[in-house]
């Protein structure tokens, strides 16, 4: 399950990196080198909504902040329910753990969900089910440009090539992209 989530988020981050060269305007990001033992995927909607997926070996923690869905009123109490093996996730300052709509952690391949339901932001479970056509429909709306579905399908299948990246965005700087893809964990 964790391997599939990592791969899906890496693919989405790769597609966003190709379509939108400016990092601050991307929706999906991924860092396969968060630390020697940790990886991190994230989503930012540009309107205050964000989430982070932290993974380390077979552990996974998910923190979402969706202003439209409200905040956990007693966040410290909810964080105290998370097993201590998740302390690196719960105490990570980059995840803004002082506010959250929900916090999940993986327990024996099942998400333990704490906090509120999220309806105002694409959540991790939805993303994990996305196929190329789902990303295509979303990206056309978000980036407000035409995107070739057949190229997305090949990239979703793991068939990255410089040629496919150039088909998706003819103006992409391949040297910059390759550096970013190394961090994402797509290209080495």
pLDDT digits (tens, 9 = 90+) for 69-99: 999 999 999 999 999 999 999 999 999 999 9
Mean pLDDT of the chain: 94
- What is the three-class DSSP state of 71? coil
Contact 28, 183 (CB under 8 A): no
Q: Which residues fall within 8 angstroms of residue 24, CB to CB, at 6 or more apart?
A: none
Rounded to 5 degrees, φ, ψ at 88 are: -60, -35
pLDDT of residue 78: 96
Q: For 146-149, which contacts have Cβ atoms below 8 Å and span 24 or more sequence positions?
A: 147/19
pLDDT of residue 1: 85
Share of the chain above pLDDT 70, in %: 99
pLDDT (tens digit per residue) in 19-44 = 999 988 999 999 999 999 999 999 99
pLDDT of residue 187: 66
- Is the pLDDT at 9 greater than 80? The verdict is yes
Q: In which element (H, E) is residue 29 found?
A: strand 28-31
- Is the pLDDT at 188 greater than 70? The verdict is no
> Following DSSP, what letter does each residue of 98-156 receive, concatenated?
T--SEEEEEETTEEEEEE----SS--HHHHHH--HHHHHHHHHHHHTS---HHHHHHHH
- Is the pLDDT at 117 greater than 70? The verdict is yes
Number of residues in the chain: 188
How many CB atoms neighbour CB 152 within 10 A? 23
């Amino acid at each position: 399950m964790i391997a599939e989530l990592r791969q899906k988020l890496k693919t989405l981050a790769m597609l966003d990196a190709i379509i939108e060269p400016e990092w601050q305007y991307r929706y999906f990001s991924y860092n396969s080198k968060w630390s020697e033992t940790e990886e991190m995927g994230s989503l930012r909607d540009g309107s205050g909504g964000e989430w982070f997926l932290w993974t380390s070996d077979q552990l996974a923690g998910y923190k979402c902040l969706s202003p439209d869905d409200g905040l956990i009123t007693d966040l410290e109490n909810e964080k105290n329910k998370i097993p201590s093996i998740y302390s690196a996730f719960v105490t990570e300052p980059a995840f803004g753990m002082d506010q959250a709509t929900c916090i999940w952690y993986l327990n024996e391949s099942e998400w333990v969900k704490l906090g509120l339901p999220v309806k105002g932001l694409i959540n991790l479970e939805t993303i994990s089910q996305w196929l190329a056509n789902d990303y295509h429909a979303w990206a056309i709306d978000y980036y407000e440009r035409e995107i070739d579905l057949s190229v997305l399908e090949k990239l979703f299948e793991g068939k990255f090539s410089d040629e496919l990246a150039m088909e998706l965005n003819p103006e992409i700087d391949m040297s910059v992209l390759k550096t970013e893809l190394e961090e994402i964990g797509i290209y080495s």
